[in-house]
């Protein structure tokens, strides 16, 4: 690219500070001109710490006097603010990359997509885990036939309510589910192709929260006939996310939080030797990959595919017509519609 893309980063929560800004600062494709946040003094402090020229305390773009200096806007605010900020940025002629969840309603999402098309600007969403090292390894194995014919996909989420969480998540439909489910939904869809909800069941919170204790969902896909399921437990003593792809030859498992991929061979008769082999293969792969993923995790340089997302965003702005396909408007709307299908069509289950 002839010149770096000049960016205003709006919203300075944990994701922006630990993912978006570090990725852009290390990239030759972007120049962060300035940062914006509604909290007093935060944007000014971050700008000084990271060496950015501009900062603004604002909750709307019309209060950012230097916005004409940028080509693009990244949005990492609470989801409730996405629609207004993204739409305003697009109408001002800026390309936009926004965090998930895309919007609060399907109508808002559709409006954002239509606005981007009318403005001739690029609109992307941070569906990043599909580009994590572990996911790319799994996809390579599937493409090479290492797993054999795929027979099923299971996504599992355990969430400890005591872990670090945004202070606004209970304001969302189904609370934390709405904030976090895009990741597992787009991961499943990246393997199976477009999926549709068949059935969803929720178990209400035991603590009076909007976030259910559990959610189970089943999906169908036009491109395959195997089962696709999602299981979430939001009242777990540990926090773990896994994507499991079952094949006739092997089982591929992504440990999402650790960015680790484990591939287990078919254990046949499940005799003692095969059980021991599975244990040895699983533990060896797990600990070996703590070198490739654990050290970057400890040093704050494990970005879980965010570098690929920003690279694709830059390529789309430069004219690459296919760069945004996995993170573009169609992907954003597809996952948003799946979320609302679960919210609207779920069945309640009293424990």
Each residue of 107-155: pLDDT tens digit?
A: 999 999 999 999 999 999 999 999 999 999 999 999 999 999 999 999 9
Q: Please check whether residue 74 lies inside any domain of the structure.
A: yes
- What is the pLDDT at residue 350? 63
pLDDT for residue 86: 98
What's this model's pTM, rounded to 2 decimal places? Answer: 0.96
Question: Residue 135: exposed, middle, or buried by beta-carbon count in 10 A (0-12, 13-18, 19+)?
Answer: buried
pLDDT digits (tens, 9 = 90+) for 1-37: 568 999 999 999 999 999 999 999 999 999 999 999 9
**pLDDT score, position 301:** 82
> If we measure between CA atoms, which residue out of 121, 41, 38, 43 comes closest to residue 80?
38
pLDDT of residue 349: 77
Question: Could you tell me if 241 and 145 lie in one domain?
Answer: yes
Residues 147 and 67 in one domain: no
88 shares its domain with 117? yes
Per-residue model confidence (pLDDT) at position 1: 55
Q: Which CATH number do you get for residue 187?
A: 3.30.360.10
Residue-level pLDDT at 124: 98
In this prediction, residue 293 carries a pLDDT of 85
**Which residue ranges of the chain lie beneath pLDDT 70?**
1-2, 350-351
Both 180 and 220 in one domain: the answer is: yes
The CATH number that applies at residue 26 is 3.40.50.720
Residues 197 and 67 in one domain: no
155 with 79, same domain: the answer is no
For residue 113, what pLDDT is reported? Answer: 98
pLDDT at site 298: 78
Range of the domain at 70: 5-127+304-327
Q: Are residues 275 and 313 in the same domain?
A: no
Token pair in block for residue 156: 């599992």
In the chain, the number of structural domains is: 2
Q: Does one domain contain both 254 and 321?
A: no
> Are both 184 and 249 inside the same structural domain?
yes
31 and 45 fall within a common domain: yes
Whether 123 and 244 map to the same domain: the answer is no
The pLDDT value recorded for residue 2 is 66
Residue 334 belongs to some domain of the structure: no
Same domain, 173 and 231: yes
For residue 281, being part of any structural domain is answered with yes
């Amino acid at each position: 690219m002839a010149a770096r893309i000049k960016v205003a980063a709006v919203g300075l929560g944990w994701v922006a500070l630990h993912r978006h800004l570090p990725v852009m600062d290390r990239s030759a494709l972007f120049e962060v001109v300035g940062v914006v946040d509604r909290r007093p003094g935060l944007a000014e402090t971050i700008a000084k710490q990271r060496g950015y020229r501009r900062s603004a305390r604002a909750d709307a773009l019309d209060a950012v006097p230097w916005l004409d200096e940028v080509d693009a806007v990244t949005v990492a605010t609470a989801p409730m603010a996405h629609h207004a900020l993204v739409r305003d940025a697009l109408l001002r002629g800026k390309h936009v990359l926004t965090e998930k969840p895309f919007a609060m309603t399907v109508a808002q999402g559709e409006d954002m997509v239509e606005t981007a098309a009318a403005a001739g600007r690029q609109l992307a969403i941070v569906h990043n885990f599909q580009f994590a090292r572990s996911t790319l390894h799994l996809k390579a194995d599937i493409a090479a036939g290492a797993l054999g014919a795929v027979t099923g996909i299971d996504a599992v989420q355990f969430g400890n309510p005591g872990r670090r969480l945004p202070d606004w998540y209970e304001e969302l439909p189904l609370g934390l589910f709405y904030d976090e489910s895009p990741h597992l939904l787009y991961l499943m869809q990246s393997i199976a192709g477009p999926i549709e909800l068949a059935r969803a069941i929720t178990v209400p919170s035991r603590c009076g929260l909007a976030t259910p204790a559990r959610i189970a969902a089943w999906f169908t896909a036009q491109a395959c006939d195997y089962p696709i399921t999602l299981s979430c437990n939001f009242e777990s003593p540990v926090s773990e996310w896994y994507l499991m792809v079952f094949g006739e030859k092997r089982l591929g498992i992504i440990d999402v939080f650790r960015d680790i991929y484990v591939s287990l061979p078919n254990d046949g008769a499940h005799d003692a030797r095969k059980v021991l082999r599975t244990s040895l293969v699983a533990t060896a792969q797990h600990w070996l990959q703590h070198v490739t993923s654990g050290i970057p995790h400890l040093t704050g340089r494990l970005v879980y595919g965010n570098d690929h997302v920003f690279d694709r965003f830059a390529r789309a702005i430069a004219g690459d017509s296919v760069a945004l396909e996995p993170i573009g408007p169609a992907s954003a709307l597809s996952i948003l519609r799946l979320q609302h299908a679960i919210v609207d069509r779920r069945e309640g289950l009293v424990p």
